[in-house]
Amino acid sequence: MYPRAFDYLAPETKEEVLDVLAERGDEVKILAGGQSLIPMMKLRLASPGTLVDINRVPDLDSISIGNGHLTVQALVRHNDIVNSELVTTENAAMASAAPWISDPIVRNLGTLAGSVAHHDPEGDWASVMLACGAQVVAESRDGGERVIPITEFLTDMFTTSLQPTEMITEVRVPRYASRTTHEHAPPRGGGNYQKLERKVGDYATVGVATHLELGDDGGISKAGIALTSVYPHNLKVTEAEHLLVGSQPSDELFAEAAEIAKSACTPASDVRGSAEYKKDVVRVFTERGLAASLAGAQR
């Protein structure tokens, strides 16, 4: 099916993008990698009156560290993250998840910012961002900059708290605490992404993102667990995170956290597997992910 007719604008500055959003508001959609928006338009699930293509805007495609964060700008592609040495050394959950996003074509075009803005419950990045405690930075012409915790940004499936006049400029992920206090300290943080897919490049049947940080005594100082494709939206398993924080890591503790994650999700039975099977995969992946995260943090 062809999309409905729309105006196409390709401004060359961020200010022009923000002007278009301020003036046309609700009827505008930002085009980044187009890997979710274009299929939605072809199916007529989205019919924006105006597309504002941000791909010609300069200085929106870097990955950097500073102010305690790893910062991923709006035009950083999935494959930029796969190939980023900075991400490899800074954030194990992101490094582990990036190669799992779809296939090479989608990874060459699609962006992390577009993925969280789209908030498909089968999207992998939202779970990783929930586990890592990310912040989304949005800008608008009349409201300036707004820093939104990811838990407040992702409101429901395919829904976020982004205003029609706002554009995401970057997503910030906190650095491991040890790195923010001593630049060259070992990470004392680790993370992982486990994904089950029917075939290479498919969306997740089940995905589990984990993130752990250790304090001076080897106890868990920070924990993140979030699930993909097993709930109406990406699900942060807060109860399991609370169980972990303040405890010494152990197989028994991780098994208990994994049981909580299993109980929290409500997957549907479909061609990818029964609900019971998917719940058990959540349990196994949570245990494995926490063990891998711990190994990274104890390096």
Chain centroid, CA 131 distance in Å:
9
Phi and psi torsions of 233, nearest 5°: -145, 170
* Residue whose beta carbon is closest to ligand FAD: 110
Q: 29 or 222: whose CB is closer to ligand FAD?
A: 29
Q: Closest CB to ligand FAD among 106 and 284?
A: 106
Q: Where are the beta strands (DSSP E) in 141-285?
A: 144-149, 154-156, 159-160, 167-174, 189-196, 206-214, 220-228, 235-236
CB of 286 to ligand FAD, least distance (A): 19
Q: Report if residue 111 touches ligand FAD, rule: CB under 6 A.
A: yes
Structure tokens at 149: 């915790």
**39 token code pair:** 């299929």
Question: Residue 38 Cβ, how far from ligand FAD at the closest point, in Å?
Answer: 6
Describe the crossing of helices 251-264 and 275-297 by its angle, rounded to 10 degrees: 140
Contact flag: residue 82 with ligand FAD (CB under 6 A): no
Residue from the set 20, 50, 93, 125 that interacts with ligand FAD by CB under 6 A: 125
Letters for 193-232 (x = contact with ligand FAD by CB under 6 A, - = none) are: ----------x-----------------------------
CA separation for the pair 60, 51 (Å, rounded): 18
- Which of 32, 51, 56 shows the shortest CA–CA distance to 170? 32
Using rule CB under 6 A, residue 136 touches ligand FAD:
no
| 134 near ligand FAD, judged by CB under 6 A | no
Residues 84-103 that bind ligand FAD (CB under 6 A): 101-102
Does 36 participate in binding ligand FAD (rule CB under 6 A)?
yes
Q: Out of 20, 34, 153, 258, name the contact with ligand FAD by CB under 6 A.
A: 34
Task: Assess 130 for contact with ligand FAD (CB under 6 A).
Answer: no
Tell me the backbone φ, ψ of residue 147, rounded to 5 degrees.
Answer: -105, 120
With 0-12 CB in 10 A as exposed, 13-18 as middle and 19+ as buried, what is 3?
Answer: middle
- The pairing of strands 135-140 and 28-31 is unpaired
Interacting residue with ligand FAD among 76, 114, 262, 285 (CB under 6 A): 114
Provide the β-strand partners of residue 126.
Answer: none
Give how many residues touch ligand FAD by CB under 6 A: 29
Does 148 bind ligand FAD (CB under 6 A)? Our answer is no
Q: How far is the CB of 148 from ligand FAD (least distance, A)?
A: 12
End-to-end CA distance of the chain: 52
Among the candidate windows 7-15, 104-112, 183-191, 218-226, which touches ligand FAD by CB under 6 A?
Answer: 104-112
B/e letters for 230-262, b = 16+ CB within 10 Å, e = fewer, are bbebbbbbbebbebbeeeebeeebbeebbbbbb
Task: Specify the residue, 31 or 208, whose C-beta has the smaller distance to ligand FAD.
Answer: 31
Among 37, 63, 87, 171, binds ligand FAD (CB under 6 A): 37
Question: What residue ranges bind ligand FAD (CB under 6 A)?
Answer: 29-37, 39, 74, 101-102, 106, 109-111, 113-115, 117-118, 123-125, 162, 167-168, 203
